[in-house]
Amino acid sequence: MKIFKYLLNTIPRPYLIKMSYLVRPFLSVWLKGDTYTDPIDGKSFRRFLPYGYGQQRPNVLSPSTLSLERHRLLWLYLQGETDFFNKPLKVLHLAPEQCFLSLFKKMKNLDYTTADLYSPIVDVKADILDLPFESDLFDVVFCNHVLEHIEDDHKAMCELYRVMKPGGWGIFQIPQDLSLEKSYEDFSISDPQERARHFGQYDHVRIYGKDYFDRLRKAGFGVKEINYSSLLSPELVERYRLAKGEILPVCTK
């Protein structure tokens, strides 16, 4: 699987997104089995693919939807704990994950808008620091694995809060090290290799610690810290290949 590591670390993200659509059908057939299941589409495989910048995590990338641990956890939470799949909702999805994009677009209960500054698959080109949407507009906002790329994350959080309706909710996942009380950031580090060494990825500017949730609260959100995998059986956690202990930050306005 060294080829996956090479591609992840050398090819720009927009091109990887386009390439993944081409190879996904072949991967699904090649790895078909019954050991692990992707809950997003219900398909099962003998194993998942490795994934990660630098040090790779084995057996985490679904061959069919290209979902990772965090995507499958979010899907299970949405299914089990929310009315996302049946209530009429106006949704903003920043940097939409392709494992969700086509599914959410097909859902007739959603008025679904995608936005990003660089992605080739979104509806609106938008800077998270200055979103081109009116205030109090969206019932639901998703912004996952974006804030660790943004130096002024407080301004970005305030923008997410601004465009959310009162009574709305959102989920803003990030890579997080819960052994850190305080997030580690140093904006003087700009070299991609040094960023990868310090923050785990060449385009990250921090590692979030336990204080991430308080950062969200400082922007105005009510925040629930939900360890959703702990509510599932160990057998399901393994079958779905979830990351034990990942906290879902469920934010409300």
Confidence of residue 6 (pLDDT cuts 50, 70, 90): low
Q: Same domain for 201 and 80?
A: yes
Mean pLDDT of the chain, nearest integer: 91
Task: For residue 202, give both structure tokens.
Answer: 């060449």
pLDDT at 181: 98
pLDDT at 39: 98
Domain boundary residue among 67, 85, 111? 67
How far is Cα 93 from Cα 170, in angstroms, rounded to an integer?
10
Distances (CA, A) of 185 to 21, 57, 172, 203, 212: 34, 24, 19, 13, 12
Confidence of residue 49 (pLDDT cuts 50, 70, 90): confident
pLDDT score of 20 more than 60:
no
Q: Same domain for 13 and 126?
A: no
pLDDT at 19: 53
pLDDT score of 1 more than 50:
no
Q: Same domain for 223 and 241?
A: yes
The residue-averaged pLDDT of 108-129 equals 96
Lowest-pLDDT choice from 35-44, 49-58, 92-101 = 49-58
pLDDT at 30: 65
Check residue 130 and report its DSSP letter.
B
pLDDT score of 144 more than 60:
yes
Q: Same domain for 6 and 85?
A: no
The residue-averaged pLDDT of 170-177 equals 97
pLDDT at 213: 98
Confidence of residue 21 (pLDDT cuts 50, 70, 90): low
Q: Same domain for 242 and 178?
A: yes
Q: Same domain for 47 and 112?
A: no
161, 220 contact by CB (below 8 A): yes
> Comparing C-alpha atoms, which of 8, 91, 77, 4 is closest to residue 40?
77
Q: Same domain for 74 and 111?
A: yes
Q: Same domain for 42 and 112?
A: no
Q: Same domain for 146 and 57?
A: no
pLDDT score of 122 more than 80:
yes
Check residue 88 and report its DSSP letter.
-
Question: How buried is residue 155: exposed, middle or buried, by Cβ count under 10 Å (0-12/13-18/19+)?
Answer: middle
Question: How buried is residue 204: exposed, middle or buried, by Cβ count under 10 Å (0-12/13-18/19+)?
Answer: buried
Domain count, the chain: 2
- The CATH number of the domain holding residue 139 is 3.40.50.150
pLDDT at 22: 61
Q: Same domain for 88 and 57?
A: no
> HSE on the CB side for 30, CA within 13 Å?
9
Give the number of other Cβ atoms within 10 Å of residue 146's Cβ.
19
pLDDT at 83: 98
Q: Same domain for 33 and 124?
A: no
> What radius of gyration, in Å, describes the C-alpha atoms of the chain?
18
> pLDDT of 184-220, one tens digit each?
999 999 999 999 999 998 899 999 999 999 999 999 9
Confidence of residue 13 (pLDDT cuts 50, 70, 90): very low
pLDDT at 17: 46
Q: Same domain for 14 and 45?
A: yes
Percent of the chain with pLDDT over 70: 88
Residues 6+ apart with CB under 8 A from 142: 91, 92, 93, 94, 96, 170, 171, 172
The pairing of beta strand 206-207 with beta strand 184-185: antiparallel
Domain boundary residue among 67, 94, 122? 67
Domain boundary residue among 39, 67, 95? 67
The range of the structural domain enclosing residue 28 comes to 2-67
pLDDT at 18: 53
